């Protein structure tokens, strides 16, 4: 693909994944209010926020220079008896991680790809089921003493130090990281055609 890509995120994980697959995106993080409508489903929530982020970045594009560039935005939530976003504080992180221990939960990532200044848009979602081990309160407090939980949906990163508490997952590892690469790549190919 020879199209310039704008990544509507400053997530090191998303940037690294794009670069690993041969893309060098412009980084233009969105700055939206992530308040969700009441009673929204997990899948609709991540697609709603991903599209909102992409449209926010498009609204700040400079035309004609940015015309036709592809804007990619993503949003991830953990779901266990309700949507678990990023924890507000240590107590919130403790509550989230207590809810998911020794059981399964779902991780949904929504992605929006839009062509700046054009009507072409695609929004999609992928869901992975993650199974956590039974960890002790001591192990949980040791984890909460690190920086990792506080900027992650559900208060953990599957690719980080919390990985030792993951038993297994069913679905895409990249979806849990927050960027379902195989699906994104197939959609990018469609834009290239």
Looking at 66, 75, 126, 174, which residue is catalytic? Answer: 75
Pair 48, 37: CB distance under 8 Å: yes
Using CA atoms, how far apart are residues 57 and 141, in angstroms rounded to an integer?
Answer: 38
Count the alpha carbons within 13 Å of 139 in the hemisphere toward its beta carbon.
12
**DSSP-assigned states of every residue in 23-60:** ---EE-------PPPTT--HHHHHHHHHHHHHHHHHHT
DSSP state of 178: T
Indicate if 134 belongs to the active site: no
For the annotated catalytic residues, the residue numbers are 75
């Amino acid at each position: 693909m020879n199209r310039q890509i704008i990544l509507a995120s400053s997530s090191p994980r998303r940037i690294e994944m794009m670069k690993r697959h041969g893309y060098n995106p412009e980084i233009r993080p969105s700055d939206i209010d992530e308040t969700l409508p009441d009673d929204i489903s997990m899948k609709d929530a991540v697609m709603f926020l991903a599209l909102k982020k992409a449209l926010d970045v498009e609204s700040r594009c400079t035309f004609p220079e940015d015309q036709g560039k592809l804007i990619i935005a993503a949003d991830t939530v953990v779901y266990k008896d309700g949507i678990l976003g990023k924890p507000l504080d240590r107590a919130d992180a403790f509550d989230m991680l207590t809810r998911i221990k020794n059981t399964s939960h779902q991780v949904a990532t929504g992605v929006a790809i839009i062509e700046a200044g054009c009507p072409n848009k695609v929004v999609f979602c992928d869901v992975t089921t993650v199974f956590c081990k039974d960890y002790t309160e001591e192990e949980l407090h040791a984890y909460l003493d690190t920086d990792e939980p506080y900027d992650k949906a559900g208060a953990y990163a599957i690719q980080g130090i919390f990985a030792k508490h993951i038993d297994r997952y069913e679905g895409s590892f990249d979806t849990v990281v927050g960027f379902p690469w195989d699906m994104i790549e197939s959609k990018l190919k469609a834009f290239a055609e």
